[in-house]
């Protein structure tokens, strides 16, 4: 079980996080200070997320990765020294990660996440999975959801990247909005003068709730029903690309590798056809162009997706500002990102003044 702590902010921490406290408030910083995060996967994306969480001032970050440092991993992973080839990625990232913020407890584990028992995940407030298989993410998401632990997933494939979040059926947060000033009832200056106006010098905090679905539900949308078909033109093609890349990892145990470009390209094309056919969709929905752009981790894409993913974890733990619900996709070829919801339809947001 997660320990209940009183996250007291010391004078030293108040000075360290002064800018953040001014930005999102002392209560939000206290919630961060009392939160522990498990980060799985220390590739380029994992390094970006680790940096953002540690600098934000969470209670602790646990790095978990069983893989070794390679020449390729050093290109997008700035926490690993170039002299660390052959060493475990989590251990090799530990020193630089801890140096970012000595006030945060940073630990490293070299085990396979698949071998961790269920109770291992219970000590965290949030679990962030990067570079993991679909089956593992679904398993951990289901486990953590039952225990009200927030779950995040993400990966980078060449120019493409994504993140998913499941904050539970009832995620509470506050949003700061400009205050609306009601005009005086005695005003006789016409209808326009009687409308509420925004006061630029004052804000109010609005309490809100958001509802999320499981990863399994988000990935198992039925595209054969009429409602789904009607919305197909508005659906980001990145969602279907994610299915293809997750299936590739399931089949090969890895992501597309530049050293196996010819073989992997052919397999990606075949998986694309099989996945879309199984969904009842035309293979033309995802053209062959994607194949040339989904190999290896690119540092700029890791920075963008890692920035968004890290910020979403911070927002969720601090309970400050609206969360992305529930996918974020980034396309480096176009230089843009999109947020979209997939899963059972339910009330997304409710609000009350407070």
Condensed to tens digits (0 to 9), the pLDDT of residues 183-214 reads 666 555 555 555 667 767 788 889 999 999 99
Contact 154, 162 (CB under 8 A): yes
Beta-strand pair 327-331/349-353: unpaired
Average pLDDT over residues 53-72: 94
Residue 192 is predicted with a pLDDT of 55
List every span in the chain annotated with CATH 3.40.50.720: 11-167+299-343
pLDDT (tens digit, 9 = 90+) per residue, 282-341? 989 999 999 999 999 999 999 999 999 999 999 999 999 999 999 999 999 999 999 999
Residue 136 burial (10 A CB sphere; 0-12, 13-18, 19+): middle
Kind and range of the H or E run holding 268: helix 261-278
**Token match 């002064």: residue?**
18
Take residue 314 and report the two structure tokens written for it: 């911070």
Average pLDDT, the chain: 90
pLDDT (tens digit, 9 = 90+) per residue, 217-255? 999 999 988 888 888 889 999 999 999 999 999 999 999
At 184 the three-state DSSP class reads coil
Residue 351 is predicted with a pLDDT of 36
Beta bridge partners of 171: 210
Domain 11-167+299-343: give its CATH superfamily: NAD(P)-binding Rossmann-like Domain (3.40.50.720)
Nearest C-alpha neighbor of 74 from the set 63, 84, 62: 84
Neighbour-count burial for 98-112, b at 16+ CB within 10 Å, e otherwise: bebbeebebebbeee
Residue 187 is predicted with a pLDDT of 56
Chain centroid offset of residue 337 CA:
13
Contact 153, 161 (CB under 8 A): no
DSSP 21-36: HHHH-HHHHHHHHT-E
Chain centroid offset of residue 254 CA:
20
Take residue 4 and report the two structure tokens written for it: 């209940």
Residue 199 is predicted with a pLDDT of 67
* DSSP secondary structure letter of residue 299: H
Contact 152, 45 (CB under 8 A): no
Take residue 291 and report the two structure tokens written for it: 């194949």
Take residue 93 and report the two structure tokens written for it: 């990232």
For the entire predicted model, the pTM comes to 0.90
pLDDT at 17 over 60: yes
d(CA 303, CA 48): 6
d(CA 343, CA 164): 12
d(CA 83, CA 157): 25
């Amino acid at each position: 079980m997660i320990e209940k702590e009183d996250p007291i902010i010391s004078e030293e921490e108040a000075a360290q996080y002064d800018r953040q406290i001014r930005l999102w408030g002392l209560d939000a910083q206290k919630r961060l200070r009392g939160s522990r995060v498990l980060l799985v996967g220390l590739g380029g994306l994992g390094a970006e997320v680790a940096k953002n969480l540690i600098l934000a001032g969470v209670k602790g970050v646990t790095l978990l990765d069983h893989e070794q440092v390679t020449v390729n991993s050093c290109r997008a992973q700035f926490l690993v020294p170039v002299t660390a080839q052959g060493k475990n990625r989590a251990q090799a990232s530990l020193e630089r990660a801890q140096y970012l913020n000595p006030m945060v407890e940073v630990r490293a584990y070299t085990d396979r996440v698949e071998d961790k028992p269920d109770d291992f995940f219970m000590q965290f407030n949030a679990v962030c999975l990067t570079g993991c298989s679909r089956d593992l993410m679904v398993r951990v998401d289901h486990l953590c959801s039952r225990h009200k632990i927030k779950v995040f997933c993400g990966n980078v494939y060449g120019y493409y990247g994504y993140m998913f979040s499941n904050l539970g059926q009832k995620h509470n947060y506050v949003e700061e909005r400009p205050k609306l000033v009601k005009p005086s009832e005695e005003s006789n200056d016409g209808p326009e003068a009687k409308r509420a106006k925004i006061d630029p010098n004052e804000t109010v905090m609005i309490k809100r709730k958001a509802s999320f679905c499981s990863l399994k539900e988000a990935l198992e949308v039925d595209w054969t029903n009429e409602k789904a078909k009607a919305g197909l033109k508005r659906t980001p093609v990145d969602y279907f690309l994610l299915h293809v890349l997750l299936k590739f990892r399931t089949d090969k145990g890895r992501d597309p590798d530049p050293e196996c470009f010819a073989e992997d390209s052919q397999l990606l094309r075949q998986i694309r056809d099989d996945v879309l056919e199984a969904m009842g969709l035309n293979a033309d929905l995802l053209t062959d162009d994607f194949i040339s752009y989904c190999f290896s981790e690119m540092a700029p894409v890791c920075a963008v997706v890692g920035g968004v993913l890290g910020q979403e974890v911070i927002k969720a733990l601090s309970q400050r500002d609206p969360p992305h619900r529930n996918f974020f996709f980034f396309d480096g070829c176009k230089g843009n990102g999109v947020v979209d919801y997939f899963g059972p339809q339910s009330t997304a947001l409710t609000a009350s003044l407070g």
